[in-house]
Amino acid sequence: MKKKKTPSLAIALIPILAMITLLFIGIFVFEADPHIPLLFSAIIAAFIAMYLGHTWLEIEKGIIRAVSLSLQALLILLVIGTIMATWLAGGIVPTMIYYGLDLLSAAYFLPAAAVICSIVAIASGNAWTAAGTIGIAIMGIGTGLGIDPAMVAGAVISGCYFGDKISPLSETTNMAPGITGVDLFDHIKHMLYTTIPALLISVILYFFIGLSLKEKAAGLEEIAALQRNLSEIFIISPWLLLVPAVVLLLIIAKIPALPGLVIGSITGAFVAVLIQGTSIGEVLGVMVNGFQLETGHEMLDSLLNNGGTEAMMYTISLVMIAMSFGGILEVSGILETLVHHLLKLAKSTGSLIATTAATCITANIVACDQYLSILLPGRMYISAYRKRKLHPKNLSRTLEDAGTMTSPLVPWNTCGAFMTATLGVSTFQYAPYAFLCLISPLIALLYGFTGFNITRLSDEEMAAMEAEERKNGTSQVAHEEKLPRTFDAL
């Protein structure tokens, strides 16, 4: 067997720089989709992996392992596509828009949207569930009020990721303390010091933006006309709101997200047939091709023509290509090399937290998955925090401040791709308005360099942790020289 080489930093940077260059040229010069630039980046990474001594079979297995990590996300995407279609055909989303236009004004819409989405995400424990249910309705209401969809999407994402980050039901909220050996509720309490200020600043910013929207917003006559058109096309009834309420209750009751969303999709299909009078054949077609209706009103058509599994295929293919690229980088040892050199930059508490945040953001960009942005630095930096007598909850908080929060800001990350597909707004458009996602990492850095709310380990705590590890026959300390295989660990 050919001896495998450990990639140098120069070798490891080749596929990264190639990806950045190809994406920039493809997206900004030729205005192309990111799929093919990412595919070419993966090809370059594969050639480098073979140069380092890896066989195609090993590379292929790395790709398959990486893509398999995103299968749950891809399945949820497909189900969200059917939910969007059946809830539109069933008049559920139109009903939410109809009543939402009565309740929300343009001036207070953005802060209200962020708060509402945060409540739903806390209850469901999942940003995707919140965006795929209440988020879709809020996008429709915002469009009806004449607000820029990019602003609305930014507020929705800020609220969804606030709730996802602090909910004890969230997978990432459980993963971060699990990797670092921190109690779940200690982790959540520690996160509140960065997350609450970030949300408050975001809501204030949305409030001031809302004040400037008063003159640009749709007038009462336009809103009334939109409501009248909706009531002419659909049977509008508050009873239809029971469908999203039931879905949220199921998820709060700890029904896994996928079956809970499937129930929501099937319920929407029944409503379309029984209430709106749509035929079964039409509903089945809508679930695949999306809800299509030509009303002659541009705004109304943009609100209603959406959903279906076909609409999700663009995003699904993007996620699969991106995860393939990340899988090649992992199996070739390139990710290990990059993180190893990043660790050398951590000379103080502030620089260690900054390095952790940079690794999380890099993993979101390069490995293309939110979970990897938590797992990779979580396993790598635990020993560095221990050496500086920093409590591991500082690490678990930073993993979420930078990993969880920045994942929807990367177009080819599973989270960024999902939000684009679900909300109908490109990542580059909504990113400037996703204030919570932008502010959280900055607050983490501020605390790191000032020392504010940085918890340190006492000698007794250090001794107790070491004794517990000896008792269990395990060690939380990762080797700084050699990072364990990320996908194998998952």
pLDDT digits (tens, 9 = 90+) for 262-286: 998 999 999 999 999 999 999 999 9
Q: How far apart are CA 58 and CA 61, in angstroms?
A: 5
Q: Name the least confident of 32-41, 207-216, 409-418, 448-457.
A: 207-216
Which of 93-102, 359-368, 441-450 holds the top average pLDDT?
A: 441-450
Mean pLDDT of the 152-164 span:
93
CB-side neighbour CA atoms (13 Å) of 135: 34
Q: How far apart are CA 284 and CA 480, in angstroms?
A: 53
Domain residues for the domain of 469 are 321-489
Report the b/e string of 59-81 with b at 16+ CB within 10 A.
Answer: beebbebbbebbeebbebbbbbb
Q: How far apart are CA 142 and CA 130, in angstroms?
A: 16
Mean pLDDT of the 103-126 span:
82
- Asked if residue 479 has pLDDT above 70, the reply is no
Mean pLDDT of the 193-197 span:
93
In a domain, 159, yes or no: yes
DSSP 40-54: HHHHHHHHHHHHTT-
Residue 437 sits in the same domain as residue 479: yes
- Asked if residue 343 has pLDDT above 60, the reply is yes
Greater model confidence, 34 or 13: 13
Average pLDDT value over all residues in the chain? 84
Q: Name the least confident of 36-40, 123-127, 335-339, 350-354.
A: 123-127
In a domain, 29, yes or no: no
| Percent residues over pLDDT 70 in the chain | 90
Residue 306 sits in the same domain as residue 359: no
- Asked if residue 204 has pLDDT above 80, the reply is yes
Q: Tokens in use for 435?
A: 């204030």
Mean pLDDT of the 480-487 span:
44
In a domain, 379, yes or no: yes
Per-residue pLDDT, 176? 82
Residue 383 sits in the same domain as residue 462: yes
Residue 353 sits in the same domain as residue 481: yes
Residue 281 sits in the same domain as residue 331: no
> Which of 268, 286, 311 lies at the terminal end of a domain, its last residue?
311
User: Where are the extended beta strands (E) located within 281-405?
Assistant: none
Per residue in 443-478, pLDDT (tens digit) is 999 999 998 888 888 777 777 766 766 665 544 444
Task: Write the CB contacts of 245 (distance below 8 Å, at least 6 apart in sequence).
Answer: none
DSSP assigned state of 235: -
DSSP 139-192: HHHHHHTT--HHHHHHHHHHHHHHHHHH-TT-HHHHHHHHHHT--HHHHHHHHH
Mean pLDDT of the 113-134 span:
82
In a domain, 262, yes or no: yes
Q: How many domains does the chain have?
A: 2
Residue 258 sits in the same domain as residue 327: no
Q: Tokens in use for 339?
A: 């993180």
Residue 228 sits in the same domain as residue 343: no
- Asked if residue 14 has pLDDT above 90, the reply is yes
Greater model confidence, 29 or 221: 29
Per-residue pLDDT, 58? 94
- Asked if residue 387 has pLDDT above 90, the reply is no
Q: Tokens in use for 138?
A: 């809020």
- Asked if residue 483 has pLDDT above 50, the reply is no
Per-residue pLDDT, 90? 93
Mean pLDDT of the 238-249 span:
87
- Asked if residue 481 has pLDDT above 50, the reply is no
Q: Tokens in use for 186?
A: 């200690």
pTM of the model: 0.78
Per-residue pLDDT, 383? 76
- Asked if residue 316 has pLDDT above 80, the reply is yes
Per-residue pLDDT, 285? 95
Residue 307 sits in the same domain as residue 428: no
> Which of 291, 311, 331 lies at the terminal end of a domain, its last residue?
311
In a domain, 106, yes or no: yes
Residue 299 sits in the same domain as residue 364: no
Per-residue pLDDT, 225? 77
In the chain, what's the furthest Cα-to-Cα distance?
75
Residue 202 sits in the same domain as residue 246: yes
In which band, very low, low, confident or very high, does the pLDDT at 242 lie, cut at 50, 70 and 90?
very high
CB atoms within 10 A of CB 119: 15
In a domain, 41, yes or no: no
In a domain, 22, yes or no: no
In a domain, 359, yes or no: yes
- Asked if residue 244 has pLDDT above 80, the reply is yes
Per-residue pLDDT, 131? 87
Residue 215 sits in the same domain as residue 304: yes
Residue 295 sits in the same domain as residue 402: no
Task: Write the CB contacts of 32 (distance below 8 Å, at least 6 apart in sequence).
Answer: 26
> Which of 283, 311, 339 lies at the terminal end of a domain, its last residue?
311
Per-residue pLDDT, 140? 86
Per residue in 208-237, pLDDT (tens digit) is 998 887 655 555 667 777 788 889 899 999
Per-residue pLDDT, 194? 92
